[in-house]
């Protein structure tokens, strides 16, 4: 049984938790299934809004799915969570990922609006 199938079985047995949702979301992320990754990671942060690591993975999954604006929003929520939890390392990681996505957004805007380059 694959790792994902094991986690899904736990979910089906009613063992739902933010940690299980984070783990499932991360596993789907690693497999490249961003739709399912986002689904489980969103559930994780709904269950525990200050779960900064889940916000980080949600932002990464959204960015990988091409949902850059949503990724920025998730990263911002993660940074707010970090303020309440004091998880400085995760905060640094979120800031790095957020900057990368912001650069992508700025690059996309200059491609869509070439007169910005003048």
User: What string of pLDDT tens digits covers the 118 residues of the chain?
Assistant: 588 999 999 999 999 999 999 999 999 999 999 999 999 999 999 999 999 999 999 999 999 999 999 999 999 999 999 999 999 999 999 999 999 999 999 987 765 554 544 3
Q: What is the pLDDT of residue 110?
A: 62
CB 23 within 8 A of CB 7: yes
* Within-domain flag for 117: no
| Farthest CA pair distance, the chain | 59
Residue at 92 is within a domain? yes
99, part of any domain: yes
Count of domains for the chain: 1
Give the pLDDT of residue 108: 77
Cβ-Cβ contacts under 8 Å for 17 (sequence gap 6 or more) = 47
Could you tell me if residue 118 is inside a domain?
Answer: no
- The answer as to whether 105 is a domain residue is yes
What pLDDT score was predicted for residue 112?
A: 54
pLDDT for 118: 39
pLDDT score recorded for residue 33:
97
How far is C-alpha 91 from the geometric centre of its chain's CA atoms?
13
Q: CATH code at 22? A: 1.25.40.10
Q: Does residue 40 lie in a domain region?
A: yes
Domain extent, residue 17, equals 3-111
Residue 116 counted as domain residue: no
Q: In this predicted structure, what is the pLDDT of residue 61?
A: 98
What is the number of other CB atoms lying within 10 angstroms of the CB of residue 81? Answer: 23
Q: What is the 3-state secondary structure (H, E, C) of the chain?
A: CCHHHHHHHHHHCCCCCHHHHHHHHHHHHHHCCHHHHHHHHHHHHHHCCCCHHHHHHHHHHHHHCCCHHHHHHHHHHHHHHHHHHCCHHHHHHHHHHHHHHHHHHHHHHHHHCHHHHC
**Residue 43, domain member (yes or no):** yes
């Amino acid at each position: 049984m694959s790792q994902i199938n094991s986690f899904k079985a736990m979910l089906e047995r009613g063992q739902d938790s933010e940690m299980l949702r984070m783990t499932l979301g991360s596993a789907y992320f690693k497999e490249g299934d961003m739709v399912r990754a986002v689904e489980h990671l969103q559930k994780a942060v709904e269950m525990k809004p200050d779960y900064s690591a889940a916000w980080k993975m949600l932002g990464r999954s959204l960015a990988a799915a091409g949902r850059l604006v949503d990724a920025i929003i998730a990263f911002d929520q993660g940074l707010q969570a970090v303020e309440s939890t004091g998880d400085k390392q995760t905060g640094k990681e979120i800031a790095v990922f957020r900057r990368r996505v912001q650069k992508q957004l700025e690059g996309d805007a200059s491609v869509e609006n070439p007169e910005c380059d003048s």
